[in-house]
């Protein structure tokens, strides 16, 4: 299953969780905030699509930047693991005793 389909399933599950809330004000507020955020994301990616479709130079930059973002995320995750792994291992070892 693709990543986007999985995210849509997660959004649907989140919407179902909101439907189970008994407090109507809270339910409507959460639904409103979710709809507002989704509208923002949809508008952002529609604009991104049309920019990339109509401008080959922008398309190349978009692809290159996405590759750099992935690389930076991997480096950041690796750095975080290097920092916290000794503490995680220590915690796990101490909880075994």
Structural domain that includes position 34: 3-96
What is the pLDDT of the chain when averaged over all its residues?
Answer: 88
Predicted pLDDT of residue 97: 64
Domain count for the chain, please give it: 1
Predicted confidence band of residue 80 (pLDDT cuts 50, 70, 90): confident
Q: Is 23 helix (H, G, I), strand (E, B) or coil?
A: coil
Interior angle at CA 93, CA 91 and CA 97, nearest 5: 115
**Is the entire prediction scored with pTM above 0.75?**
no
- Give 50-78 pLDDT, tens digit per residue: 888 888 898 888 888 888 888 888 888 88
How far apart (Å, rounded) are the C-alpha atoms in residues 87 and 2?
Answer: 34
- For the chain, the residue count is 97
Confidence of residue 1 (pLDDT cuts 50, 70, 90): low
pLDDT of residue 19: 92
Q: What is the pLDDT of residues 10-25, one digit of tens each?
A: 999 999 999 999 999 9
């Amino acid at each position: 299953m693709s990543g986007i389909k999985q995210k849509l399933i997660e959004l649907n599950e989140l919407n179902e969780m909101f439907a189970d809330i008994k407090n109507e004000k809270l339910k409507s507020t959460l639904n409103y905030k979710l709809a507002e955020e989704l509208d923002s994301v949809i508008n952002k990616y529609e604009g991104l699509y049309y920019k990339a479709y109509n401008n080959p130079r922008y398309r190349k930059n978009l692809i290159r930047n996405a590759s750099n973002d992935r690389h930076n995320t991997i480096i950041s995750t690796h750095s975080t693991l290097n920092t916290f792994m000794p503490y995680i291992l220590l915690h796990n070892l101490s909880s075994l005793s």
